[in-house]
A = this chain, B = another copy of it.
């Protein structure tokens, strides 16, 4: 996400809980990506900051943390004092009972709504959480008019997010605005079938598409 936004002309600040720990990590982040330090060698101009410093300097925030840790990460970032757009791409996946994970909140709640409730000055927009990271930043790798959903209470914030989505390569016709933030329950609840499809298809390079008459 940082690399693609950098490539498309955005100034990107990367936040983490502990800079030293992140730089010392020797394991990649999934889908074949390298450990952070290795990736960072090719992106030295992108500053690695604390959550707090990154959140303070950026105009738009992107929550790319693990869903079970998002509320804590945003607290550390000082999100209670930030009046900014937050793009929430996380999912509340609970791996504590093994694979496949369940959702730690769902049905009558969503992670997106919990973030909005805990940090009311943020303007939370849920999007991109229904696909793998390689698809998020390279939608043209997938054939056809596949979809990216948006949920949020603030129309202006959703317009800001649509502009970020266009930077990532998404076309307006692929964006489906589902309505207010409670609709994020629906998109977070796509994860269980996404995980099973990943198992059946054997690749994370797929996405949901809505077929019409």
Contact = CB atoms under 8 A, between A and B. Distances in A.
Interface in A171-213: 176-179, 183, 185-187, 189-190, 192-197, 199-201, 203, 205-213
A195 B190 CA distance: 13
Contacts of A144: 144, 209, 211
Contacts of A210: 197, 201, 206-209
Interface residues of A, number: 41
Nearest to A213: B205
Given A107-B106, A197-B176, A200-B179, A208 B211 contact: yes
A207 B200 contact: no
A196 B201 CA distance: 26
A96 B91 CA distance: 27
A193 B103 contact: no
A193 B197 contact: no
Contact of A212 (B143, B176, B213): B143
A141 interface: yes
